[in-house]
Amino acid sequence: MVTIGDVARAAGVSRSTASYALSGRRAISLEVRQRVQEAVRALGYTPNAGARALATSQTMVIGLLAQLLEGEFAPAMLQYMLGVSDAGRELGYDTLLITEADGAHALRRITDSRMVDGLVLLNVAHQDVRLPVLRAAPQPGALVGLPGDCSGVDVFDLDFEEAGRAMVDHLHRLGHREIILISQPELVVQRGGAWVWRLRNAALEQAQRHGMVLHAVFGESRQPAVGRSLNAVLDTYPGATGLLIDNEAAAAALPMVLHLRGLQVPRDMSVIGRYSDEFAQIFSLPYSSIDSAPDRLGRLAVRQLVRRIATESESEEPYVLRLIAPDFVDRESTAPPRGQHRSGQYTGRHE
């Protein structure tokens, strides 16, 4: 392979001069710089990443710890991953993708061996076993997902509580008084998926504040269970006029379920989802939704991570906890509940 020594020889300068000419870290005469650049081009020189990492203690690589857990909606994960990878590249970083089931173990391996300059953890649980490892690591970390303890890391997530309140408020404003919330499978909650219960609890509280009835249930993650459970819920609460769907698989299954029950949206049922706009477009989910903005969250996490890598040794910047405001995408799937629609009155309970 062609090394900086070859470049130096071809340009008739020392290796250090060649290095400085390329990095620009000290003044170099125009003539020498041009000779070096010419040699680089002629020889097709690219610095060896491993050697550079060894010399500078910087790998220019970010570790991305994805977690694909049972009962969760895998396709959503891809969008976070792309946000991280693309943002990293724009900032000069490559992305090491770690998908091992044992995330804590993988994290220790990656950080101990100094393969990366920083880490992004996706799908962070309330008590995430990866966090103690991350805190003990010499590299900084940024999370997508809000854990119980945010110390020592930068945290980014959707404001799921605000999302839950916004969904409830929206239907309340339209006059709905009995609604249903379909969350992720209970397994996800038991495993510590705090985002699920943050939305759920906030929605329940808000409904109570408004004097609404909110039936909060856990959905399923796969067909045919998803469809069955949707039907069961609709059977159980025939008086409900609104549906909040914090569950991608349920959102995808819902159009057919409602259709087979002869229910039209929004005439017979108002629906609000919570998923990414990209997902809505691919499957044309016809429901207004809170955009989960995976791409944006991934990018935010990387940007902060890179900032922290740069300023790591310097003054202790305070850690960031940023919950982004839910963005409501209107797809006209909500309306006043039946009966009220025609009268234009938003006052009574459902008749």
Partner DNA sequence: CTGAAAGCGCTTACAG
97 near a second copy, judged by CB under 8 A: yes
Question: From the list 10, 13, 155, 272, which residue makes contact with DNA (rule: CB under 7 A)?
Answer: 13
Residues β-bridged to residue 119: 63, 141
Question: From the list 9, 10, 19, 138, which residue makes contact with DNA (rule: CB under 7 A)?
Answer: 19
Question: From the list 10, 17, 63, 130, which residue makes contact with DNA (rule: CB under 7 A)?
Answer: 17
Handedness of CA 167, 172, 176, 179 (dihedral sign): positive
Question: From the list 73, 197, 218, 287, which residue makes contact with a second copy (rule: CB under 8 A)?
Answer: 73
- CB nearer to a second copy: give 89 or 173: 89
Instruction: Tell me the C-alpha distance between 59 and 114, whole Å.
Output: 8
Instruction: Tell me the C-alpha distance between 96 and 121, whole Å.
Output: 12
Token output for 347: 């006052």
Question: From the list 18, 81, 272, 300, which residue makes contact with a second copy (rule: CB under 8 A)?
Answer: 81
Q: Kindly compute the dihedral angle of the four CA atoms of residues 247, 224, 330, 345, in this order, to the nearest 10 degrees.
A: -100
Question: Is the CB of residue 316 less than 8 Å from the CB of residue 150?
Answer: no
| DSSP letter for each residue of 202-241 | HHHHHHHHHT-EEEEEE--SSTTHHHHHHHHHHHH-TT--
Number of residues that bind a second copy (CB under 8 A): 56
Instruction: Tell me the C-alpha distance between 12 and 18, whole Å.
Output: 9
Question: From the list 129, 282, 310, 325, which residue makes contact with a second copy (rule: CB under 8 A)?
Answer: 282
Total residues belonging to the chain: 351
Give which of DNA, a second copy, none residue 29 binds (C-beta under 5 to 8 Å, depending on kind).
DNA
Q: Which stretch binds a second copy (CB under 8 A): 70-78, 163-171, 204-212, 327-335?
A: 70-78
Taking CB under 8 A as the rule, which mask of x and - marks residues 101-130 in contact with a second copy? --------xx-xxxx---------------
Give which of a second copy, DNA, none residue 24 binds (C-beta under 5 to 8 Å, depending on kind).
none
Question: From the list 26, 41, 89, 209, which residue makes contact with a second copy (rule: CB under 8 A)?
Answer: 89
Give which of a second copy, DNA, none residue 22 binds (C-beta under 5 to 8 Å, depending on kind).
DNA
Site for a second copy in 187-246 (CB under 8 A): 221-224, 226-227
Number of residues that bind DNA (CB under 7 A): 32
Give the H/E segment covering residue 134.
helix 130-136
CA 263 vs. chain centroid, Å, equals 33
The phi-psi region of residue 323 (left if phi > 0; otherwise alpha if psi is between -120 and 50; otherwise beta) is beta
Give which of a second copy, DNA, none residue 77 binds (C-beta under 5 to 8 Å, depending on kind).
a second copy
Question: Is the CB of residue 351 less than 8 Å from the CB of residue 281?
Answer: no
DSSP 3-state assignment of 288? strand
User: How many CB atoms are closer than 10 A to CB 3?
Assistant: 15
DSSP 3-state assignment of 64? strand
Site for DNA in 29-48 (CB under 7 A): 29, 31-32, 45-48
Instruction: Tell me the C-alpha distance between 179 and 349, whole Å.
Output: 12
Give which of DNA, a second copy, none residue 287 binds (C-beta under 5 to 8 Å, depending on kind).
none
Q: Which residues bind a second copy (CB under 8 A)?
A: 1, 44, 46-51, 53-54, 59, 61, 64, 68, 73-75, 77-78, 81-82, 85-86, 89, 94-100, 109-110, 112-115, 138, 221-224, 226-227, 249, 252-253, 255-256, 259-260, 278, 281-284
> Which positions touch DNA (CB under 7 A)?
1-5, 12-17, 19-20, 22-23, 25-29, 31-32, 45-48, 51-52, 54-57
